[in-house]
Structure 1
Amino acid sequence: MRPARALVDLQAFRDNYRLARELSGARALAVIKADAYGHGAVRCATALAEEADGFAVACIEEALELRAAGIQAPILLLEGFFEAAELALIVEHRLWCVAHALWQVEAIEQASLDAPLTVWLKLDSGMHRVGLHPADYAQAYQRLLASGKVAKVVLMSHFSSADELDNPRSQEQVTQFLSASEGLAAEVSLRNSPALLGWPKVPGDWVRPGIMLYGASPFEHPQPQADRLQPVMTLSSRIISVRELPAGEPVGYGQTFVTDRSMRIGVVAMGYADGYPRHAPTGTPVRVAGRRSRLLGRVSMDMLCIDLTDVPEASLGSEVELWGRHVLATEVAAAAETIPYELFCNLKRVPRVYQD
C-alpha cells in the first residue's frame, strides 16, 4: 500500500484538553468542527467522552454524526440553525445552539418545541462576522427568557485578533461585551484557543479550545503556555525513489529549483492531493531518517522531492515526517504562508491511524 499516513495521538489530544481546563479554570467545550480539524471527529470525541464538558461543531450534520456514534455529552452548534425546521432536531437530539441573529431569536419565539432550548447568545463585539448588534443584545436576551422556549442562555462573543498579543483589539472587544451584557445574569464564554493561552484575565465560565487541542500554537512566536502543547498528528510517508544529480539540473515541475552542486534527491509519496500545500516552497522543513532536511522544487499531485545530500542514512524506504513532533505544523504553515488550521483541515486521501 502507498506509505502516506496520518498518525493521530489520542493521548496527546486528551492532554491538550486537560491543559485547556487547567489554564482556564473553567468548563471547556472541545471544538471538533470540520471533522476535528481533519483529525476525525468521532474518534476524537470518543477519546474525550469520559471527561469533556461538551463539544462544539459548526452545524447540525456534524452534531448528528456524533450522536449516532454514541456521544452523549452536550454539543453546541456554533453557527446555530440555518432554518427554523432544524429546531425540532435540536430538541430531539439535546443539542445546544448559538443564536447570532434576530431572525433566529424570532424563530425560537415562534417555534412549537417539546422541550426548552439551551441557547448561546452571540454578540458582535467587533469582529463583524456574525453576532447581534450591541444595541439589540440585552433585548434579545430578555426575549429568549420571556419566550418560555429557553431553559438557559449563555452569553458569548468571539475575538478577531487574540493571536496578536500586543493588539489592543481584544481588550476593546472585552469592553464592548461587558457594556452590552451589563446586568444580564448568565454564564459567559469568550475565550477561544489564543485567548485561553494568551489572555488569562479575560472573564468567563466556559472556554472553547480549538486549534490548541490538536497541538498547534495559534501564535507566530513562542509563547510559554502554547509551548506546552503536544502535537497530535504526525503526517508521514516514505522515500520511493532516490536520484543522484550533478549541478545545474532542475528538480520537479517548472524548474523552480536547480541543483547548485552534486545532490542526492529523494522522492516522497506525498502531494497536494493528500493535502500537503502545493505552494510550500523550497526550504520547507521535513525530517528524514531522524534528521531535518528540506523540500525541493514544486509539490506535485502525488509526490514531492526532498534534499538527501547531507543525510547519508536516508535511502529507499526511509520514513519522512512532513509535520508532527519534530517538524511542527506551525513551521510548515509559516513556510507555505498559511496557518496550521488549513493544513489539518485540507488533509485528504491519507489514511488516519489512531494511537491511544
Structure 2
Amino acid sequence: MLSDEDVLAAVRRRVEEQDGPGQAPPGGADITRHLLIEGRILRSLETRTEEERFHQGFIDLSDRPVYGSSLHTYRIPPPEDPATETTLRLVRRGSVDDRACDCGNGLVACERCKGGGELPCAPAKACGDCHGIAACLWCDGTGRRSRPSRDRGTAGHVGRQGRVTCGQCGTREAACAGCAGRGKNTCTRCGGSGSRACPDCDRAGTVPHRRCGGTARTVTWTEGVVTRSPFVVKVKVSSPVLPYGAWRTARDHGDWTDVRVVGPRSSLARDTDGEVAGLLESWLLPHEGEISRRITLRHLPLARVVLASHPHRVFFVVPGRGGPHVAVWPSKERARLLAAVALAALVTLVVVYRLLA
C-alpha cells in the first residue's frame, strides 16, 4: 500500500504535468483509502432426490451404485473441478422388483374387434354422383330397359352429357359415370366382402399389452439421483463505494494481488489481508447444498485525494507495476455544473433554431 507521502508526491507530479512546472499545490489534502475487490466464486451445488421407476422389459441395473435406506448418507467424493456438471443414478438396496407380466406372453385381445380381427363393413355405398336415383336414364339401375318419359332427362335425371354405357342394361350414354348404372359402388375398404381388417390389430386379434409394452416383463425400483451443478457468484466490492472512473483506472493501470483457492469449503489463506477477509466474509458463507468451491479474486488498494487548492478535481492514485498511477476526474459538483452548462447550451440552440425556422 502506498504511504500518504507517496500518494501526495504522485498527485503533485500529475498537477505539474497538467498545469505546468512550479504549480505543485501546497499542503492541505484530503486522502481517503479504498479497497477494491473483484472476481468470482464458483460453487458446486448438490441435490439428491428419490423416485419410483418403472421399465417395460428387461433392464440391466447391475452397473449402478447401490445405497442403503438413506440416500443422504451415501458418500461421494467432492468434484476435483467445481465447474463440472454431473448426474449420478443409484439404486436403493432391495427395491428392484423384476417380474413376469400378468398377460403371460405380452399380448391381449384387441379391444376394438374383441379378438375377432375384423370389423363389419357395408359391402357397397350409394353412388356419390347420382345418389342411386339417376343411375341409368333407361333402367334406373334395375337392368330392365324401359323407354323414359319425355321429360325424364330433366325430372330427377341428369342429361346425356358425361354419361357412359350402362353396366346393367348395356344402353350407351345412358348411365351415370360414377356408378355405370348400378346406383352404388363397391366399398373399397372391404372389397364388397362385408368385413374389413381391424386397424388396431390388422386381423391378428391381439395387440401388445400396454403395461409391459408387449415384452411380458416389468421392472420397478427406487432410484436415487445425485446432481451436481456449477453456480457462479460474481464479486465486486469497494469500501467505500467508488464511481466507475476509479474502477476503470484500477483495471487499466493497477497492480492487483490475486487470490485463488479450490476445494471443499475452501476459504481464504491465513495470510490474507484482514480488511480483504472482512469484506469477503459475507460472500464466502456456504450455500445450501454446496460441496466444493473455487475462489478466483484479486484486490487492490486505492487512494482518493482532494486538494484544497483544486477542490473541483478528484485524484485517484493506484499502485501500478511501474509506480503510482494518477487519474483525474471532475468532482461531483463540477460534474453537475458541466452538465448544467451543457443542458443550457442545448436549450439555447433549440430556441434559436425555432426562432430562425
Normalising by the smaller structure, the TM-score range is under 0.3
Query: Which has the larger helix fraction?
Result: 1
Give the alignment's TM-score, normalised by structure 1.
0.17
Query: Which has the larger strand fraction?
Result: 2
Larger radius of gyration: 2
Give the alignment's TM-score, normalised by structure 2.
0.17
